[in-house]
Structure 1
Amino acid sequence: MKKIAIIGAGITGLSTAFYAKKAGHAVTVFDKNAEVGGVMQSHSQNGFIYESGPSTGVASLPEVVELFEDLGIRSKMEEAPSLSGNRFILKSGKLHPIPSDPISGLLTPLFSWKDKFGMPFEPFRPRGTDPNETLTSFVKRRLGESFLNYAVDPFVSGVYAGTPDDMIPRFALPKLYNLERDYGSFIRGSIAKMRQPKTARDKKASKKTFSAKGGLSTLTESLKNSIGTENFVMNSSPIVTPQEGKFSVQVGEKNYGIFDRVIFTAGASHVFEVFPFAKENFADASAVLYAKVAVAAVGFKHWEGLPLNGFGALMPSKEKRNILGILYMSSLFQNRAPQNGALLAVFVGGLRHPEFVSMSDAELKNLIGKEVAEILHLKQFNPDLFEITRHEEAIPQYDLKTPLREKAYRGIEEAFPGILMGGNGIDGIGMAKRIAQGRALAEKI
């Protein structure tokens, strides 16, 4: 048994602590916030259940399902219905479904005829030679400009709140990057991947959108209870000091003793708040650009707009809208809004408009109201629920700073054996990636 200090009580840190304790180690989790879960927080108000941080996850890795199973709450994992496959892109003021088959791909107005007819030639286009090629260049080279503008650009703004001009596929979208690197083509690589046999464990990764019944806090609260509330030190800003091969952890005037391992799972911008001794030689560990995002939970007890028969709608930057996207939360999960009502999650800011996050609630309500009413055909914007949450450090961008950050993280681990570095600064941002990283960090102990 080892004594483990875990920095950060977000989903990564909670997953790490859960699996470390399950393996028989003594864990203490430190976090600056009052509640566990980091940005994952669910709320109930006026008949609505809404999130003030991430709204959904994707079961893209088996570790997601296995975490619910290991917690004994598999029945509380809620997967979105099949209509969640209906995803919409705004073009010329109208929502268009993302094509789901060759015929709809040929007929959609989202893409140009030149790029549609060029698609069969994609397998014959040469591989790229620049490992740090931007996503903009990568997609234009393989698929064409219209696919960049009306498929990839809105996806990047919806997931990363970023822009394809800054994104490096090798770090941000490694699966897509590897299709070209390993197979020379998206199409050829996708076909090869589909033909690969899947184990029973692989099949747990359903790729479906998921949440938890009652909101994602159901998952984080279950993790907290399994880890044990006595093993958390909240409202704390720990400072770690190496001490003869082990580590002392100090919070204010109180010393929490000597730990065999320290596992960092907080944001990259906070590395040197925890490890001040590492700054001189590993300054790039905090080299990170965060997108600012405001999330609005918007609820209507009686919905009178367009039918919300899908996952949601994304806004390409070409359309010059003031929001990034809208998720149809009440269509994805049960009991999120009163019967005949609707719950939306609207995202604002990102690298496109970081200044919007500093607006007052009244200003944001006016801005969001105009956008939602126009896009979803509401005669008037008079919601029964409107709650804004601002995140100054919402999503790290996987740009050219990423390899510098990764190298510094590994350097800290090598220079100070016993420290393990994680968090959303490396290995991806999705919930599945965070859960899988947390489990892997625990296994490294």
Structure 2
Amino acid sequence: MSTTLVPGRPARVAIVGGGIAGLAVAHALRQQGAGARGVEVVVLERGQRPGGNIRTDVIDGFTCEWGPNGFLDNAPATLALVDDLGLRPRLQPSDDRARRRFIWRNGRLHPLPGGPIDFLASSLLSWPGKLRIAMEPFASRRPDGDESIHAFASRRIGREAADVLIDSMVSGVFGGDARALSLRACFPKMWQLETDHGGLFRALLARRRQHPRRNGEAIGSPLGRLTSFVGGSEDLVRGLATRLGDVVRTGVDVQAVSRNPQGYTIAIEGDAPLHADAVVLASGSATTARMVRGLDAGLADTLAAIPSATMVVACVGFREDQLPAPLDGFGYLVPRSEGIRTLGVLWDSSVYPGRAPQGHVLMRAMLGGATDPGAIDLDDQALLDVVRGDLRRIMRIEVAPTFVKVFRHALGIPQYTVGHLARLDAAEARLAALPGLLLAGNAYRGVAINACIADAADVASRALAVCSAVPAPLATV
């Protein structure tokens, strides 16, 4: 019997972008048997380290997060990934103090009320505002078309609650403008609650029946518990990168993606082009739009219409004994109507004890966002002046911080503005003519870590389906 090598090549999935979304897709490809099926997987990351905006730096004993400071532990896909990577022992649930959340209004910090009695006693909203919320079951019906978060909240619970409660929440989660963001795209569960129950009060009662142990927690608290890792959020990135090994290539600047008769060609700055049968574009929407401009201008225009909000993170440390009061809580958010430039401040060393040296505390102030894009252009001293001024006004902190570190994100948090879901449908329609070209990442179907990880399995299976049609590289006859 003779052996003849029949010409062919290995099938390949190239993932452009080594943030949490790209890494999770690569891991899902391996979990789904890419290697056993002869499919090569490669992750191309422009930066010198993977992770995107998920990065943790430990400086002088302070654990500083560049971006997300954890995930909610009610996400099965994320917990399954944690277990597969052997990271369960490194999980660090947030402290019980993190359940206490505050909003700054009318010159003082107000704790978010934990139930109807607390709500009635709270001075966060005026009595007319409270009475308007009580009228929620009689709110007008949902209008046709996409609705902004602020319009939805004004319709259901009144203008004051929308301006105070919802505006501050949207600033904290998205760094966004509640008047511009789509309710259905940003908070699909809330949209579904109105669809299923006809109103928020009815939905809240159903939730409390399903989760009786959560009665008494602050109104609007997430169902899961905020959770991170002993070494910060980057522990998850490090775990994925270690498991994937040389699959992840850093310092690779992808310029463009084009078609060829066998699949796709990826043009790389200063290097030879790379062939792939399937390409997962897991970079930001603006970057992805640039890469596909020559391939499909209509697709590029659609992706370029998904904006991102710039964000600035200022980590500040203080001596604990110099503060006027203990940091007993998660932190606070600020409605835009209050005239405070910081969007909010997280009390990180209270949320996750051990993130500051003994006798010190660590806070993270957030600035910028969709309503203040110019904040990113301030130099470090100007930013510190803003942060110190706001801390002096809100927390009565007069002393200078003993530690300061500033992080800037030119492409911070994607903004799912009104019409976002229609743009996604338009993008998917264009992609239907480009089999094997797929989108992943927080610009599309959820900004949180959990959403990116939950999306990875589906993206991976679609990429493998394309590769299954590629002939094996070698055959024996």
Amino acid at match of 1:351: A
User: Paired residue for 1:291?
Assistant: 309
More divergent stretch after superposition (340-349 vs 129-138): 129-138
Q: Of 22, 31, 39, which aligns to 2:31? A: 22
Give, in angstroms, the shift of residue 292 of structure 1.
Answer: 1.2
1:387 aligns with 2:405: yes
Aligned partners of 2:226 and 2:22: how far apart in 1?
Answer: 22
The answer to whether the 8 Å contact 1:60/1:432 transfers is no
Aligned partners of 2:89 and 2:204: how far apart in 1?
Answer: 32
Amino acid at match of 1:52: W
Q: Could you say if the C-alpha distance between residues 378 and 193 of structure 1 is closer, same or farther in structure 2, counting changes exceeding 3 Å?
A: closer
Q: Of 144, 154, 161, which aligns to 2:175? A: 161
Q: Of 239, 243, 252, which aligns to 2:256? A: 239
Give the root-mean-square deviation of aligned CA atoms.
2.1
User: Paired residue for 1:320?
Assistant: 339
Aligned partners of 1:274 and 1:46: how far apart in 2?
Answer: 40
User: Paired residue for 1:405?
Assistant: 423
Aligned partners of 1:364 and 1:257: how far apart in 2?
Answer: 43
More divergent stretch after superposition (271-280 vs 220-229): 271-280
TM score, norm. by length of structure 2: 0.87
User: Paired residue for 1:179?
Assistant: 193
Give CA deviations for 1:378-431 in whole Å, capped at 9, x if unaligned: 132x21211111111111111124134302320232011011112222111111
Q: Could you say if the C-alpha distance between residues 235 and 383 of structure 1 is closer, same or farther in structure 2, counting changes exceeding 3 Å?
A: farther
Aligned partners of 1:190 and 1:238: how far apart in 2?
Answer: 48
Give CA deviations for 1:115-153 in whole Å, capped at 9, x if unaligned: 323444322333212332222221111111221122101
Amino acid at match of 1:409: A
1:270 aligns with 2:270: no
Amino acid at match of 1:15: A
Q: Of 220, 223, 229, which aligns to 1:212? A: 229
User: Paired residue for 1:376?
Assistant: 395
Q: Could you say if the C-alpha distance between residues 93 and 424 of structure 1 is closer, same or farther in structure 2, counting changes exceeding 3 Å?
A: same
Q: Could you say if the C-alpha distance between residues 326 and 409 of structure 1 is closer, same or farther in structure 2, counting changes exceeding 3 Å?
A: same
Give, in angstroms, the shift of residue 352 of structure 1.
Answer: 2.2
Amino acid at match of 1:437: D
Aligned partners of 1:318 and 1:49: how far apart in 2?
Answer: 32
User: Paired residue for 2:58?
Assistant: 44
TM score, norm. by length of structure 1: 0.93
Q: Could you say if the C-alpha distance between residues 366 and 19 of structure 1 is closer, same or farther in structure 2, counting changes exceeding 3 Å?
A: same
Q: Could you say if the C-alpha distance between residues 349 and 253 of structure 1 is closer, same or farther in structure 2, counting changes exceeding 3 Å?
A: closer
The answer to whether the 8 Å contact 1:299/1:343 transfers is yes
Q: Of 261, 267, 271, which aligns to 2:278? A: 261
Give CA deviations for 1:1-26 in whole Å, capped at 9, x if unaligned: 84210011111111111111232322
Aligned partners of 2:41 and 2:391: how far apart in 1?
Answer: 45
User: Paired residue for 1:426?
Assistant: 444
3-state SS, counterpart of residue 136 of structure 1:
helix
User: Paired residue for 2:4?
Assistant: none
Give CA deviations for 1:141-176 in whole Å, capped at 9, x if unaligned: 111122112210100111111111111201111111
Q: Could you say if the C-alpha distance between residues 357 and 213 of structure 1 is closer, same or farther in structure 2, counting changes exceeding 3 Å?
A: same
User: Paired residue for 1:201?
Assistant: none
User: Paired residue for 2:239?
Assistant: 222
Aligned partners of 1:234 and 1:193: how far apart in 2?
Answer: 47
Report which of the two structures shows the higher radius of gyration computed on alpha carbons: 2
The number of equivalent residue pairs is: 438
Aligned partners of 2:124 and 2:231: how far apart in 1?
Answer: 36
Q: Give ranges in structure 2 of 5+ residues lacking alignment.
A: 1-9, 35-39, 212-221, 465-477
Q: Could you say if the C-alpha distance between residues 261 and 35 of structure 1 is closer, same or farther in structure 2, counting changes exceeding 3 Å?
A: same
The answer to whether the 8 Å contact 1:242/1:248 transfers is yes
More divergent stretch after superposition (211-220 vs 400-409): 400-409
Q: Of 76, 87, 101, which aligns to 1:87? A: 101
User: Identical aligned pairs, as a percentage?
Assistant: 29
Give, in angstroms, the shift of residue 195 of structure 1.
Answer: 5.1
User: Paired residue for 2:37?
Assistant: none
The answer to whether the 8 Å contact 1:52/1:297 transfers is no
Q: Could you say if the C-alpha distance between residues 443 and 116 of structure 1 is closer, same or farther in structure 2, counting changes exceeding 3 Å?
A: same
Aligned partners of 2:134 and 2:335: how far apart in 1?
Answer: 25
Give, in angstroms, the shift of residue 322 of structure 1.
Answer: 1.3
Give, in angstroms, the shift of residue 293 of structure 1.
Answer: 1.1
Amino acid at match of 1:350: G
More divergent stretch after superposition (270-279 vs 146-155): 270-279
User: Paired residue for 1:202?
Assistant: none
1:348 aligns with 2:377: no
The answer to whether the 8 Å contact 1:290/1:394 transfers is yes
User: Paired residue for 1:200?
Assistant: none
Give CA deviations for 1:246-284 in whole Å, capped at 9, x if unaligned: 222231243354222111111111123322333423221
Give CA deviations for 1:168-197 in whole Å, capped at 9, x if unaligned: 201111111111122210121233355569
Q: Could you say if the C-alpha distance between residues 299 and 312 of structure 1 is closer, same or farther in structure 2, counting changes exceeding 3 Å?
A: same
Amino acid at match of 2:31: K
